[in-house]
Amino acid sequence: DEKIDLVKNELKSEINGLKVELKRLDEKVDLVKNELRSEIDGIKGELSGFKNEFRVEIKRLDEKIDIAIQIRERLAALESKVASLIK
């Protein structure tokens, strides 16, 4: 009985040691998860900023294209008037 109790106590001690080690591992995993979430949130913020800058740039280019189209239309109208005056 004493040997059995000794083995039981050793096993309990080992199990408790493993539980402590598992708890440490869980804490490390949680730490890594939090770090990854933080990194991902940072990347999301950067991408959001880039997306907003990109939209502004596209809008600016659209406005320039619209102006170029208007100039082209006016030039075509002037060319047509000049051509009709030359005939």
Per-residue model confidence as pLDDT tens digits over 58-86: 999 999 999 999 999 999 999 999 999 98
Q: Which single residue is written with the structure tokens 């990854």?
A: 36
Residue range 38-51: mean pLDDT, rounded = 97
Question: pLDDT value at position 87?
Answer: 73
CA distances from residue 86 to 19, 72, 73, 79 in whole angstroms, order as listed: 98, 21, 20, 10
Question: pLDDT value at position 73?
Answer: 98
